Structure formats: structure tokens, C-alpha cells
Amino acid sequence: MRVSSRTSGVEYAIRDIISYARMYESAGNHIIYLNIGDPVRYGFNTPEHIKDALINAVKANQNYYTESEGLPELRNAIAEKESQKGLAIIDQDVLVTNGVSEGLDMVMASIIDSNSEVLMPGPYYPPYASYAKFYGGNPVEFRLHEDGRPDLEDLLSKITPKSRAICIINPNNPTGEVFDRKALQELVDIAEEHDLYLICDEIYDGIVFNGKFSGIGRVSKDAAVILLNGFSKVYLMTGWRCGYVCTNSNCRKLDELRTNIPKLARVRISTNLPVQMAAVQALRGPQDHIKDMVLKLQKRRDYVVKRLNGMNGLSCTMPNGAFYVFPKISLDSHWKDDKEFTIDLLNKTGILTVHGSGFGRISGSEHFRIVYLPSEDILEEAMNRLEDFVHMRSSCK
């Protein structure tokens, strides 16, 4: 029977690679998973006060459909958090979603027409391209310089009358790069000059290693900023699916979008009420776990980057946020491309990573992504195996 052609461009390399892992596992082999950015799977547990809030809500019979736009107390706590980060935001301009993923889906659905172009820094988190394509648009990658700053000349050369939005994923997945204030200001200026939406994903805002995070709110003023954020990473609630979309309350150009996105929220009724009650406690309760997590991650990052840079044919920059590294591979003539490299790595060592081209064909190619969430002994084992693997290749030359 027929299926629509709409889904043909939908890809998610991070999970698509799992079919290779299943084959490997079904032959009785053990895998070290370094592919999915889920801290809760690696022993970073949801804080007790957040778990208690969920359990208490369920027991108190808070198990009904709630407002489509989100629980008022949660919208208020979110508006407070984001306004502390500098964004002009009132409760009514916050929409609670089933994770950032659903928020991104709603935003793309609301702004893309056939052949609209969405500019994204390469490499980017894959759903940005998948949703753009799903709604009939085209993702357009713009380059970043080696130091992680946006290549403005390249970006400007790619703006056309079909351009609708610039996406900023900050800190970035897969590189862990953090844009500084100057880079953000430059992107805001370009977006304003060309009447483009700025879709800003700050899901890793609490996971930065060099001081306090400075996000889009610090420079947004009255620009057309659509901020996406959520509870999966910083509050360790990945499986609970809770995120949000905020639109800059100072920006009148967003008024039409503000009436459109909630229509999509209403057709899906609402998000999970007990989880929203727990999310209120996440924002209002103790924040100590974040500092502990960042300290642990910083040690793991330093270890992994040092080891990678000591391996033949690999080089890796030091990321400033999130929990990913994105090393460059010198493929020589040994592997056809980065996907072949990651599959060969899996089959020879049991280490599952994600091929870089899954994060954008132009700038992702010849790279692979490693999640450094596992404990140090697992990372050490993984780095030892990876080192043997790449050194074996160089000795075969």
C-alpha cells in the first residue's frame, strides 16, 4: 500500500545507526554505547525532589488533561528562568511541549512552506534538517570557522528570498561549541536585516565549562527569537519528555506565529500533567546536581580530548559545553567515508558512535561523534580500543 513521500527525507543518524548495533549484538557481542546523549542512561539520575514531585502528583490524582499551552505555574517558572537569562518573556508567550523535539516540530510546521529554506550551522542536530524537509522546506548549512565562530560571509551568501529562519543550537550538538556574545549579536543583526526568524535551542544551557552561559537573551532585544529549551539534559528528565517554546515578547513580528503555534498545541490536547508538576519543582527546587554533573563531565571531557589527540589520524577541538566531542578522522584510503569508519569501528571493537555526515553532509563528513557521558573506566576502555583500532590501520598502510 502507498505511503506519503513526505517522510522520505526524515533521518536521525543517532538512532538510525542502532540497526548495525543490533546485528552486532545478535552475534553475541557486547557494545560500549557512545551514541546517544542521554545522561540518565549513564548514572546521572533524576534528582530525588523531582522524582518525588512526579510521584506525589500522580498520587494526588493530578492525572487529567491540562491546559494545551501548559500548566500556568510551569509557564510562570519558565518565564522567570528565561527572563533571568535576558529574554523579554511573559508567561503567555511560553508553550510547554513534549520535549524540545515536539516544540521544534511545531515551530517548523508553523513557518515552513514548500521550498522555504532554513539556515543551520554545520554540523547541526539532525532533527533540524529532518523537520525542515518533512514540511517541504530545504535545510541549508552555513559554515563555522575552526574556532567555532559563524562564517558570516558564507551565511550571507546563502540567504535568498526563500530563506525563513536561522537556527542556533547553543551549546551545539554535535560539537559542544558555545557561541559567544559577539557571534550571537552578529547572527541577530543578520536575522533582523533579512527578516528571518531566529530559532535558538538552548537545551544544554546549564552544561557549560567556562563560567556562566550567555545565551540569545543577552542580545535579543526585540529580534524575532523563538527559544527552544527543555528539561531532558540539565534536569535529567530525558524519558519524561518535557520542553518548551518561548517567543520574544518584545517582538511584534512574532504576533502571528504566537497565535498559530498554540493551534498545534490544542490539537494534541496537552502534555503530561504529573511531569509538568515535577518540572515546576525542577526549576524552583535545589539546583546542586547541575554543578556536580558539570564537574564530572569536565573531567571526562578533558580525558577523552587528550586521548583522542594522542591517536594517529584523529584530531579533536576542546568543546565548551554539552557532552559530545566531534573528532576529525583522516580517512586516507582506508575507509570510503565517515559512516564506513563508524561501522568498521563497531564491528572491530564493539564501540558504537555516530558518523559525522549524519549531522550535515558538508561539515559533518570525515568526523564522528562520541558521547562522553559514561564513567571514566568505561571511557578508558573505549579509548584503548579506539586507539588500537586507528593504530592498526596506520600500521597496515
Q: Which residues pair with 200 in a beta bridge?
A: 168, 227
By CB under 6 A, which span of 99-107, 143-151, 277-285, 364-372 interacts with ligand PLP? 99-107
- Interface with ligand PLP, residue 125, by CB under 6 A: yes
- Interface with ligand PLP, residue 390, by CB under 6 A: no
* Number of helices and strands in the chain (H, E): 14, 14
Among 169, 293, 308, 311, binds ligand PLP (CB under 6 A): 169
Among 177, 201, 205, 338, binds ligand PLP (CB under 6 A): 201
By CB under 6 A, which span of 42-50, 95-103, 107-115, 159-167 interacts with ligand PLP? 95-103
Provide the minimum distance between the beta carbon of 388 and ligand PLP in the complex, in angstroms, as a whole number: 29
Distance of CA 266 to the CA centre of its chain: 25
Sites for ligand PLP among residues 219-258 (CB under 6 A): 230, 232, 238, 243
- How long a stretch of residues is the chain? 397
> Which residue number, 233 or 289, has a Cβ lying nearer to ligand PLP?
233
- Interface with ligand PLP, residue 320, by CB under 6 A: no
- For 248-353, strand residue ranges (E) read 314-315, 324-325, 328-329, 351-352
In angstroms, rounded to a whole number, what is the distance separating the alpha carbons of residues 388 and 353?
A: 16
Closest CA to 172 of 330, 380, 367, 375: 367
Q: State which residue has the least CB distance to ligand PLP.
A: 99
In angstroms, rounded to a whole number, what is the distance separating the alpha carbons of residues 251 and 221?
A: 8
- Residue type for position 289: H
Among 35, 46, 66, 101, binds ligand PLP (CB under 6 A): 101
Q: Do the Cβ atoms of 174 and 369 come closer than 8 Å?
A: yes
- Interface with ligand PLP, residue 37, by CB under 6 A: yes
Among 47, 99, 122, 215, binds ligand PLP (CB under 6 A): 99
Cα–Cα distances (Å) from 305 to 20, 320, 379, in that order, read 26, 12, 11
- Interface with ligand PLP, residue 356, by CB under 6 A: no
Closest CA to 200 of 191, 211, 209: 191
| Torsion angles phi and psi, residue 72, rounded to 5 | -55, -40
> Which residue number, 230 or 360, has a Cβ lying nearer to ligand PLP?
230
Provide the minimum distance between the beta carbon of 125 and ligand PLP in the complex, in angstroms, as a whole number: 4
Which stretches of the chain bind ligand PLP, using CB under 6 A?
37, 99-101, 125, 169, 173, 201, 203, 230, 232, 238, 243
